[in-house]
């Protein structure tokens, strides 16, 4: 298991313990352990393989947690977590997906009202029972009621980061089998959708039974749900289900095209096949009973008069017409990104110092970064006021002088307050190298007020970009209500850049709106919003989102050098 996966298990243990009312020190130990794992730059599996281990020397990892990490790496699970899952109904855990409902409040709902599902919670809210509880009230009850539909939808799907890590680990394991020819991830995971309902893996093998046995024995697999001669369905410990299909070599490309989808894209491709007197299915392209193509996707697309189309674009949003017209451009790639302009350090809620973030970014080949710790409104994240910010910038400039090979910018993630003013005054903002303005609070305000806030920030002469514009969190928080036409026009008129935040829980802007921003000529920045040196791993998800939007290297501002990017800014 990867560090992030084990950290997620530790956080789940902490949640379940807190719901049960366990000792706070015990709960905190798991949360601290999860934070340590999230910030590690080396794999815990590698640490375990090192003579002497080294896990217990890590901050927040004692003997007990180290032993649990070892078990998780070896077996893919934590026995204590399995016991806790039996003791706390799954529906109770699902309530944690509602914004504003933490473990302590969920515990009250569970213990005092006996609520064990989102459906029961909805009934209790509608009956006015929640507002009668101490510490809740009518406003909280209404907020919970509004958050239930989002929580229900989120429960059906998994973040792309969770889905992909699992799928890639299983694919890597299957590749170890001598009988496996090719094996790849298909489905929505291959199309890099923000969330996945399940996983599809396709393989070529001359021994399908061996492939299925290997999958069944994988530590990530909780249970085999079904098994046939060429198809097996399993459920992973994360809850996501995965289908393995073993296909003949001559059908592999056709099967990849078919099972990658989307349904809407495939309908058009099949129609093009029919127009050419062909029949297309997961087994190949046929003219009558005669096999025509299917070993590779390139063969399939060529047979219907098209070049190969990148999986991220396969949503029937004009990609087929562009490909047919020869207008399919090379999409942006991770290697194209030269800088990261949104990240945090220990000055606010980050886990690494300025120097550590700079060195980690440099090691990943980045040429420049902006340190953008929170402004004072985000008090829970130790946000900076003007005095602390200026001292922080002094520290950044000192590190800038000492670390060569990377430009380190003095930045700030400045909140756009609920009254539509900026969290820091213009005098302070004017001293920054880079200002990214964001919405963190008041996301449920009416559209008129949300727009006033965004437009005021865009008009501010010191704001360079709007970060994670809608404020959404895919796991538990819906987007703010934005008039995107007006928003994009204002950003274009004032030369303000817009962000695709690569954090898997945000991916904001989404692919639809990022594509719309391009039509307005607005340069996009892809940032990781890293809170640790490990956070730079998220870059791939932001790039995938940009690819789904059809964005090229030229559309992304931070594929340029810092001097070139500066020329895009209105204050250059």
Contact residues for 412 (Cβ-Cβ < 8 A; gap 6+): 372, 373, 375, 384, 389, 424, 429, 432, 434, 435, 436
Distances (CA, A) of 189 to 165, 260, 264, 463: 10, 8, 16, 35
At the fourth CATH level, the homologous superfamily of domain 334-566 is Metal-dependent hydrolases (3.20.20.140)
C-alpha to C-alpha distance for 488 and 318, rounded to whole angstroms: 21
Q: Which of 192, 190, 209, 191 is nearest to 201 (CA)?
A: 190
Specify the long-range contacts of residues 63-68, CB closer than 8 Å, at least 24 apart.
64/29, 65/10, 65/29, 65/30, 65/33, 68/10
Question: Exposed (0-12), middle (13-18) or buried (19+): which is 494, by Cβ within 10 Å?
Answer: middle
CATH for the 251-324 domain, from 1.10.510.10, 3.30.210.10, 3.90.230.10, 3.30.540.10: 3.30.210.10
Task: Please give the pLDDT value at position 155.
Answer: 60
pTM of this structure: 0.81
Specify the long-range contacts of residues 449-454, CB closer than 8 Å, at least 24 apart.
449/418, 449/420, 450/480, 450/481, 450/482, 451/482, 451/483, 451/486, 451/487, 452/420, 453/416, 453/417, 453/418, 453/420, 454/416, 454/482, 454/487, 454/490
Task: Please give the pLDDT value at position 209.
Answer: 96
Task: Please give the pLDDT value at position 234.
Answer: 94
Task: Please give the pLDDT value at position 516.
Answer: 94
Digit-coded pLDDT (tens) for 129-150: 999 998 898 988 998 998 888 7
| DSSP-derived 3-state class of residue 57 | helix
Q: Assess contact for 401 and 425: CB atoms under 8 A.
A: no
C-alpha to C-alpha distance for 28 and 45, rounded to whole angstroms: 24
Q: Assess contact for 6 and 44: CB atoms under 8 A.
A: yes
C-alpha to C-alpha distance for 247 and 181, rounded to whole angstroms: 10
- pLDDT by residue for the chain (572 residues), tens only, comes to 677 778 888 988 998 998 888 888 888 889 888 888 877 767 787 787 766 657 777 777 888 888 888 888 888 788 888 888 888 888 888 888 887 788 889 989 998 899 998 999 999 999 999 999 988 989 889 989 988 887 777 667 899 999 999 999 999 999 999 999 999 999 999 999 999 989 999 999 999 999 999 999 999 998 899 999 999 999 898 888 999 999 999 999 999 999 999 999 999 999 999 999 999 999 999 999 999 999 999 999 999 999 999 999 999 999 999 999 999 999 999 999 999 999 999 999 999 999 999 999 999 999 999 999 999 999 989 999 999 999 999 999 999 999 999 999 999 999 999 999 999 999 999 999 999 999 999 998 999 999 999 999 999 999 999 999 999 998 778 899 999 999 999 999 999 999 999 999 999 999 999 999 999 999 999 999 999 999 999 999 999 999 999 999 999 999 999 999 999 997 66
Q: Assess contact for 11 and 171: CB atoms under 8 A.
A: no
Task: Please give the pLDDT value at position 238.
Answer: 83
| Location of each CATH 3.30.460.10 domain in the chain | 158-246
Q: At the topology level of CATH, where does 158-246 sit?
A: Beta Polymerase; domain 2 (3.30.460)
CATH architecture of 3-152: Orthogonal Bundle (1.10)
- Which bin fits 301, alpha (ψ -120 to 50), beta or left (φ > 0)? alpha
| Location of each CATH 1.10.150.110 domain in the chain | 3-152
Specify the long-range contacts of residues 232-239, CB closer than 8 Å, at least 24 apart.
236/166, 237/76, 237/77, 238/5, 238/8, 238/158, 238/162, 238/166, 239/158
């Amino acid at each position: 298991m990867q560090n992030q996966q084990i950290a997620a298990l530790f956080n789940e243990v902490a949640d379940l313990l807190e719901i049960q009312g366990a000792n706070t020190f015990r709960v905190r130990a798991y949360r601290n352990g999860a934070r340590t794992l999230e910030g590690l730059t080396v794999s815990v599996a590698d640490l375990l393989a090192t003579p002497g281990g080294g896990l217990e020397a890590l901050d927040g990892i004692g003997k007990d947690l180290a032993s649990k990490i070892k078990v998780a790496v070896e077996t893919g699970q934590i026995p204590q977590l399995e016991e806790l899952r039996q003791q706390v109904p799954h529906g109770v855990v699902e309530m944690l997906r509602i914004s504003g409902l933490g473990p302590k409040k969920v515990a009250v709902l569970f213990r005092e009202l006996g609520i064990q599902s989102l459906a029961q919670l909805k009934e209790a809210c509608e009956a006015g029972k929640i507002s009668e509880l101490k510490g809740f009230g009518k406003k909280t009850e209404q907020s919970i009621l509004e958050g239930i539909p989002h929580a229900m939808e989120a429960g059906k799907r998994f973040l792309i980061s969770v889905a992909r890590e699992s799928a890639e680990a299983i694919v890597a394991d299957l590749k170890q089998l001598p009988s496996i020819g090719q094996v790849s991830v298909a489905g929505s995971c291959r199309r890099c959708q923000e969330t996945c309902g399940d996983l599809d893996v396709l393989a070529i093998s001359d021994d399908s039974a061996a492939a299925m046995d290997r999958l069944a024995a994988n530590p990530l697999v909780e249970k085999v749900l079904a098994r046939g001669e060429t198809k097996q369905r399993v459920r992973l410990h994360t809850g996501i289900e995965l289908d393995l299909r073993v296909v003949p070599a001559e059908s592999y490309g056709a099967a990849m095209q078919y099972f990658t989808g989307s349904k809407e894209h495939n309908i058009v491709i099949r129609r093009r096949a029919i127009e050419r007197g062909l029949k297309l299915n997961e087994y190949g392209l046929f003219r009558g009973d005669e096999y025509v193509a299917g070993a590779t996707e390139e063969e399939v697309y060529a047979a219907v008069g098209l070049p190969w189309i990148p999986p991220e674009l396969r949503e029937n949003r004009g990609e087929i017409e562009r490909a047919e017209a020869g207008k399919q451009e090379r999409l942006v790639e991770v290697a194209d990104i030269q800088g990261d302009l949104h990240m945090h350090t220990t000055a606010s809620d980050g886990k690494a110092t300025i120097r550590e973030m700079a060195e980690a970014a440099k090691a990943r080949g980045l040429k420049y970064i902006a340190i953008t710790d929170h402004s004072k409104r985000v008090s829970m994240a130790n946000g900076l006021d003007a005095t602390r910010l200026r001292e922080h910038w002094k520290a950044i400039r000192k590190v800038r002088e000492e670390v060569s090979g990377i430009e380190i910018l003095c930045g700030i993630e400045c909140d756009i307050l609920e009254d539509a003013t900026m969290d820091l005054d213009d005098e302070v903002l004017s001293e920054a190298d880079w200002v990214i303005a964001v919405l963190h609070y008041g996301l449920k305000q009416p559209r008129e007020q949300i727009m006033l806030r965004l437009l005021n920030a865009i008009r501010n002469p010191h704001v360079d970009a709007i970060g994670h514009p809608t404020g959404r969190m895919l796991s538990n928080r819906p987007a703010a209500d934005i008039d995107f036409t007006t928003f994009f026009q204002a950003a274009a008129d004032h030369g303000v850049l817009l962000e695709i935040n690569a954090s898997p829980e945000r991916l904001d802007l989404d692919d639809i709106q990022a594509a719309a921003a391009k039509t307005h000529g607005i340069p996009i920045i892809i940032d990781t919003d890293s809170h640790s040196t490990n956070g730079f791993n998220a870059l791939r998800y932001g790039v995938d989102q940009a690819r789904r939007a059809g964005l090229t290297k030229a559309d992304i501002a931070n594929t340029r050098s810092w001097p070139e990017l500066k020329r895009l800014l209105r204050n250059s």
